[in-house]
Structure formats: structure tokens, C-alpha cells
Structure 1
């Protein structure tokens, strides 16, 4: 009798008419999305949009937890070594690929220790903004000023090897200048110091700096992407204004530990993608200067691999290579 029941259940599972136990029971407790950046940064805003939609669709609270430090390496190691049960996820951005290319030794393998869940957001444009006291108003004027004052004009970033650091390093190489890099433990504290005039420049998501520009606390210098920012349509890109070929873009996505059961991965992929393409999610992302996902989960998984290859080439061009920062 028991053998017959087991055989019948196995047959139904094979036909996809009932779900395996791991999927049927999942989730039965809150899910965490770990972000490797300080609360208040763009990553925090994007993660919360994903958390809201996953909470709605999965029937369990999805919590966002900030674990900043060491340019995201601390949080990434934590998730890589967490139980692969679908309850601990990681929000990453371009820095995930950058770290793999920049640091000679990491406590995890960015390619082999994670499985891609889905794309969360694509910032419409990174934009270079300045403190109003800086006597430069566009890319050309900034380059001229930087050549007159090597190592005297500072830009803040979310950490060594972060995409905001990469944007400044690429600017230095392509413009043949020496801006001084000041790394922070996240974009939020870097932005605070920019507003206070402790640093003069920063590359950041256009939607996050827009209120400060409107208030006269910052001024836009140039967009960093292929096209102008919707928030700053009158501000040229660096490519069209001063540095042909200069392009820096970013992306934000969610990963899980590589051994997460396939049925849980499929569930997370489906629920997140379906949630984020809804109108209210698109509107929330637009408010913080980002587009909703334009890649399916499968396309995102392939994109992560190609982005790692492209980033490796860019890092070699810039000449960034260093030992991993201390994790404690």
C-alpha cells in the first residue's frame, strides 16, 4: 500500500501536477534580502521595491538588511556561506563583477557560489554632480580645472572597486587627470560629505541626487551613460561633451547561494519578475531614477556572466588590481 502511494506521488510530481515538498512549504518564514551598502543608498531603495512585491506575492515578510563594509565583500561572503534554503538573498550591483576583477583573493567565488534570481533595476543614468563651490559647470571645465589642480579635487564613492569608484577612475584615465578618490562605506555617507563640501564630486544615480540639485545644494556636471538622464535632459553626457567613448552604467539584481533547490530558485525568479513588471513597481523605481527589469531571469543569468567578462577588461585598462580589504 505504502509503495503504491509513493509511486503515485512520484508520478504526479514528475508530471508537474503537484509540487515537491520544498516548494510546497516555501516560504514558511520571513525572507531576508542582504544589501552590501549602507541604508539610504540607491541599493536600499531598489531592494525595498523588490521586497514589497515579493512580500505581496509570497505571503511572507521580505526584509531588507544592510551589511555595509569592504566594498560589499562582507555581505557577499555572508550570503555565499548561508544556508541555501531561499531565505537569505543578496542584492548586488556592478560592484559584484568589479570585485571579482579587482581583488586578487576573495573569500568566495562570484561566478560559482551564486545563482542568479533576477534583475531588479537599471539606473537610467549615473550622473556626475558637484558641490556648488566647485568652479566648473560641465565636463570640459572640470577637465581643465583638474589639470590645473592634480590630486586637489576629490570625488567620493561607495568604496574601493565600487562602480562609483570605477566611474572616477575611468574619468582619470580617459581625461588624463588626477582626481583624488575618497572611498566611503556606502554611497549615502559619501553623498552626505558631498553635500557638506568635504568632497567636491560624486557619480551617483540621477534620481537620488535630483532633490539636492533642485534645492541648490548640488549642481550637475555631466551624465555618465550612453544617453542623457530623463531627470536632467539639458545636461550632456560626458561622451558628447568632453570624452568621446566614456560610458559607465550600473545594474542591480538579486542572487541566491548556488545550492538553493531548483524549485525554490524557479519560484523566486517567477514571483520577482512578475512583481517588478507591474505598473506600481515601475512607478516606484522611476521615482528613484531607475528602469524596471527588461531582462527575463534567464537573460539576467547570462548577463551577469558577460558583465563579469566586460568588467574584467575595463579593470585591466584602468589598472585596478589590489588585495582584498580587511573584512573585520
Structure 2
């Protein structure tokens, strides 16, 4: 009878969430139950479900659960369900949210050194940026956010930001003069636009389409997928590939959460974060290609800078490097030499 009860108990426990195990002692009697700990953690993502970063977040969660044999389960909340990027970062600091992926723009408010990676025309191309981020410099930046209660895990791609406008093609520095360009509410971005001879107009992202349509602004700046997804190409068809900034994004975990995880599982999570980052880059490249093809088919005029003009754009940034790169001059030189 006792053996039957023990068997039934084990079967019932196995039917639900497995949080305990049934053992028998040497006499075949039920022994003390042993708990099988399972962590259920939350991952905040502000993009839509089909966006490259969100899809990579789902892959990260899948890999972690698989490689920890189900010890760690991660629920991904997409579409800003848990708040905007700044609010999510703050919640990570006190452990209310466990994982996230955020742009380093809001993250720089918590670690000022990240402003270095946002300096305009810092990189020659994408390959140089990845040499930096996947080397010692990038690893040091991931570790640097720990003082803010965060643990950097890996880097996600967000492409290059470019200017677009409703007035004319841009192929040289003088073409930007006088244009009213929407920018994020960032001293660095406003300073960049002013240094290029345009008029910087801070504006909420959701107001940009109507601003372009009504002439309140002449242009804006962003990456290919954003230019496409919010239909700015419909009201600003001139797009120039100046690649003024490459602002990477960081996948990270709350330090409070991290300290609750075993060293063995920390290693697994780090490996999964790096693997999911590679997947995100592939998804991002595909998304960029699809967006570029779409806007070209819709009539967007895509231009590149004339020979020698890129150097003029870079030279105009000297005051910004002095202001925002103060104290990091050697680091900037290291990045530029990669």
C-alpha cells in the first residue's frame, strides 16, 4: 500500500511543473523530497514581435532553456510591454526585470563612457565597428556597466544612421546647410546637426511623419528599417548614405539576477547571448536589405557622398570630439586605429 501511494505521489508531481523529486530509501519507502529549482526570468524588448532584436531575444531564451536542461526559463515581453528603454534599465537595476536589449543611447545616461561609441563618423565601416566591439575594447564596455548594477552580455547590430529629407538629393556637405533636421533629444545629436550647417529640431519620433508632411521639418536621420517601417520614405524620398553614426545595442542582465545564478549557468547564459547576437546580425542584415529594396521600388532617391566629402563631414565634428570625448582621447584613437 505504501509503495502504491509513493508511486501515485511521484506520478502526480511529474504531471505538473517539476519542482520536487520522489526518492526511495533502501527499504523502498518514500524518502525526503528533493527540490529541483527552476528559475523563471523576464526579458524586456521594446520592438515588435517580428523585429530582428525581438526574434534574437526569443532565440536567446530558447538556447538558455535548452542548455540549462530547463533550469532557467525566460519569458520575452515584446513591444514595450514592460516600459520604454530607460524605465527598463532602471528596473534591471533593482531586479524587477532580469534581461533586456537596449540602445546604448539611453544606456549612456547610466555609463557616460558609452558616449564614445556614439561619436559621429567614428568608424570607417561596419567591419571596423565589429572589430572594436568583439575585441578587448568592446568587452571592457560590457564590463563597464556593472557599476550601474548591470551585466553586459553581448552586442546587437542596429545598422548605420543616415540623413533623409524632402527637399533635394544630398551628395556634399553644403547640401545640408539650412535644412531643418529632426533629431533625438540628445546634446550630441543636436550638436552634430548644427556642426554640419543644418538646423537641429528635437521632436518626438511619432511626430516625424506629420512634421515632414507639413514642412515643419525638412528631414530626419535613421537606419534603413526605421526609414521603411514608419513610412518616412513616403514624405522624404531623398536618402544619403553618409553613415554618420553606428549606435550598437547591448544585451544585458540585472546584476541582482546574475548573482543568483550559478557560475556554471552564468557561463551558459553568456555563451547563449553571444550566439543569439550572431543570429541577430544575420536577421538585421536581411531586414536592411528588404527595407532598402522596398523604398527604392517606392521611388526613394538614394545617393552617396562625393569623393572627399566624407572627410569634410568628419572634420566638422572636431568640436564634438573635444566636448564629448574629453578624457577618452586615447580610447578614441585606439578605436579609430582598428
TM-score by structure 2 length? 0.52
Give the match for residue 119 of structure 1.
155
1:169 aligned to which of 180, 184, 191: 191
1:183 aligned to which of 180, 185, 203: 203
Give the match for residue 90 of structure 1.
100
Larger Rg: 2
Q: Which runs of 5+ in 2 are unaligned?
A: 1-33, 66-72, 114-143, 290-319, 327-338
Counterparts of 1:143 and 1:195, CA distance in 2: 16
More helix per residue: 1 or 2? 2
Report if the CA contact (8 A) 1:128-1:221 is conserved: yes
Q: Note the alpha carbon deviations across 1:279-313, whole angstroms, 9 max, x for none.
A: xx5442223339xxxxxxxxxxxxxxxxxxxxxx8
Alignment of 1:1-328 (within 5 A): 25-26=37-38, 28-29=39-40, 31-35=42-46, 39=47, 45-59=51-65, 60=73, 61-64=75-78, 66=80, 72-83=85-96, 88-96=98-106, 98-99=108-109, 100-101=111-112, 110=145, 112=147, 113-123=149-159, 125-130=160-165, 132=166, 134-135=167-168, 137-146=170-179, 153-157=180-184, 160-161=185-186, 166-173=188-195, 175=196, 177=197, 179-184=199-204, 187=205, 189-194=206-211, 196-197=213-214, 198-210=216-228, 216-225=234-243, 247-259=244-256, 260-261=258-259, 262-278=263-279, 281-289=280-288, 314=321, 316-317=323-324
**Change in 2 beyond 3 A, CA 1:265/1:194:** farther
Counterparts of 1:202 and 1:128, CA distance in 2: 6
Report if the CA contact (8 A) 1:126-1:205 is conserved: yes
Q: Note the alpha carbon deviations across 1:133-167, whole angstroms, 9 max, x for none.
A: x3554443533334xxxxxx24143xx23xxx634
Please state how far the C-alpha of 1:45 moved relative to its aligned partner: 2.8
Report if the CA contact (8 A) 1:122-1:250 is conserved: yes
Please state how far the C-alpha of 1:75 moved relative to its aligned partner: 2.5
Report if the CA contact (8 A) 1:156-1:201 is conserved: no
Report if the CA contact (8 A) 1:98-1:315 is conserved: no
Q: Note the alpha carbon deviations across 1:175-220, whole angstroms, 9 max, x for none.
A: 3x35132232xx4x15434554443222111233247789643223
Residue-pair matches, total: 217
**Change in 2 beyond 3 A, CA 1:287/1:318:** same
**Change in 2 beyond 3 A, CA 1:192/1:266:** farther
Report if the CA contact (8 A) 1:122-1:252 is conserved: yes
Counterparts of 2:188 and 2:103, CA distance in 1: 13
Give the match for residue 11 of structure 1.
none
Q: CA RMSD in A?
A: 3.9
The structure, 1 or 2, with the larger RCO (C-alpha pairs under 8 Å, 6+ apart) is: 1
Counterparts of 1:315 and 1:207, CA distance in 2: 32
Counterparts of 1:167 and 1:288, CA distance in 2: 25
Please state how far the C-alpha of 1:268 moved relative to its aligned partner: 2.1
Counterparts of 1:25 and 1:257, CA distance in 2: 20
Please state how far the C-alpha of 1:251 moved relative to its aligned partner: 0.2
Q: Which runs of 5+ in 1 are unaligned?
A: 1-20, 103-108, 147-152, 226-246, 291-312, 320-328
Please state how far the C-alpha of 1:111 moved relative to its aligned partner: 5.1
